Amino acid sequence: MKFKLKDSVRIREENEDKIILFDTETELLHEVNGIGYDIIKLCNGKNTKKDIENILISEFKEIKQDDIKNDITNFIRQLELNNLIEIIPVEIADKIYLYGSELGSFTYYIDDDKKILIDAGVLVKKPIDMIIVTHCHFDHILFLNELKKMNGCEIICGEKDKRDIEELTEKVMVNLSPKNIVPTKVDTVVKNGDVIKTNNFTFSILETPGHTDGSISVYDKHKSILFSGDAWFGGDNQGKWIYLSGSEKQSKDTLNILKKINPKCIFPGHWGIIISNRNYRIQ
């Protein structure tokens, strides 16, 4: 049986990239709303949308434009940690849930006999047996420590990103992240061809270096689904080379290999999902 998108998922085809910059307070709020009215309505009963807006306005009034996004991240992370908000996932396919984080990175939850999280950009409030970290960047490990503590789950990553996750090296780019991100011990290092089986999925690990040199992707050949991390961004946003490991050439080589595999569904770490080579945003 091939992958099918849930009928209930509302998607729109992508025409252009919409990257919102924060020039004014109004735009700042717009972006927060863009990150998700869901986030704001989560504060139901404790904080109204207006309350959150007021907090943000007073919180960020004096902050430099360049710092705003990071501080929003920190602010929302604190709301998550204090249980004032909870990111609500979208079931995008049978047993597959997508959480859009406040940083825009995607976290996926596989709700099978084994509960698997792919990346940890959100404080997921469901049982977790295993977290597969696609790479060491801060927006993918934001809640790794908290989730491990809550669930006692196994943490898995590619060999060349292990030390970075455990020691929060400069590769993690913590300078761009909330200050209180916590280093976490990795339990298992995986390599090309390692298989993780659940009742309904057979996930193969692909080493997909380039974005970072230890980047991995998770591939179910039978279902033709690829969780690509940042090895293949949604919306063809391959971006400018700014990273502290990997290389642009390696990244392009990896992308060519993944394009040859040609998965029907690609669930990336950012921006949108790709189905049959078309880009979609989850609404």
Residue with Cβ nearer Zn ion (14 or 230): 230
From the CB of 137, what's the least distance to Zn ion, in Å? 3
From the CB of 230, what's the least distance to Zn ion, in Å? 4
Residue with Cβ nearer Zn ion (198 or 215): 215
CA distance 221 to 230: 19
According to DSSP, residue 270 is labeled B
According to DSSP, residue 221 is labeled T
Q: Where do we find the tokens 């807006």?
A: 53
Residue with Cβ nearer Zn ion (42 or 100): 100
Residue with Cβ nearer Zn ion (137 or 162): 137
If one asks whether residue 213 binds Zn ion (CB under 5 A), the answer comes out as no
Residue with Cβ nearer Zn ion (77 or 223): 77
Among 32, 230, 258, 263, which residue interacts with Zn ion (rule: CB under 5 A)?
230
CA distance 46 to 39: 13
Q: Give the CA distances from residue 154 to residues 117, 130, 191, 277, in Å, rounded to whole numbers and listed in that order.
A: 10, 5, 16, 33
If one asks whether residue 69 binds Zn ion (CB under 5 A), the answer comes out as no
Burial, 18: exposed, middle or buried (Cβ in 10 Å; 0-12, 13-18, 19+)? exposed
If one asks whether residue 137 binds Zn ion (CB under 5 A), the answer comes out as yes
Name the segment binding Zn ion (CB under 5 A); options: 9-17, 225-233, 244-252, 273-281.
Answer: 225-233
From the CB of 191, what's the least distance to Zn ion, in Å? 20
Which residues contribute to the site for Zn ion (CB under 5 A)? 137, 230
